[in-house]
Structure 1
């Protein structure tokens, strides 16, 4: 049954994407940017609905009261494709920092460019940061929510954290709050796997880290609070979804947390 549902979801996901592209592309590029954003938001809502109805994958968002007014940075855990669109319907005007190569994809790249997503050349490393900061400053000045994945790539639930220092540069240069967000959709939408599992995902929005810390102090604090909350949420998510098969790295992390008697990110 899991294989059948996973196949049906994949089919529905891509059919929905193609149909919405055919219907909305002719008008998307003629609309003002913020109005046009309703089209990607609708695409995200449809994806979440399909995941619930076909797979049985539901979700909730906890901590919406922690989102500040005006422009701010979201520092989110990244485990699978699901978490790249799950927040889009909830946030007023999110903007992502993404690999510049994604803008080269026909249609997708054009959609992203219209929404002024911020491309970064990973090959340029530190040389790309000043341009990224300048673009981010422009978007935050417009009151947008900047979403960044500080580990730079997808990580399995409980995998060893690997935060990049670029998030600290953004924090000190932009002087806006940073809101950590943790979630574990990778338990149900695992990397390099066709299968999609039913269950319930909690997206947990933590309290914002206000500007004013040094880059190093902020960086250490961000990792500490994020990983502690991530460990706590991992334990909770596994407890309420005991049927989900766990990746090896997740089992190892859970054993370490239990052995310590508390979240091991302190």
Structure 2
């Protein structure tokens, strides 16, 4: 089994070794899947908002240790989905992993989306945050795809940053203090770094047939940025 997987890995062609036309086709396919993920996320979110039971349950998970349980569950689903998408060549399993991750994102976003709509009694806040997020995502992705620069060196810094962020979130939840605006700004910077890293992986890490796991990584970075951009918009007076 391991020997077969090793041979399969060796026969894969990295995107960086493809012709320009094949690279463009890979990028288009990947970003089409990211866009599809956003549409499925919106659909899941809409359906969840229609369920009073599911909405009330998600709101009840915001208190103290319950939020930590939900956050921990989300991290487990994230690790499982990313691992499944990367370790299998079966497209059905990759789509299943991607769909599972989108569903988890939709659920953890549910309370904040609900409050954002209630805050303005319309979708203005969500639309503003979405526009800013997409503009930043597009700009950062363009920098990597145009320059072809390898941002793999960001991995260590991102790992340390995420562990620090998790520690601060745990401390804030357990001891009841608000992390504030600057934490959200810092997380936006971390999310921006993640977008650079994930986009760099498109060029330097993934093979021609791995557009689904590539899309999952980009979608995860996009949603992280959207989460904290929306928090910043919601913190305004």
TM, length-normalised to structure 1: 0.25
TM, length-normalised to structure 2: 0.27
Which of the two has greater strand per residue?
1
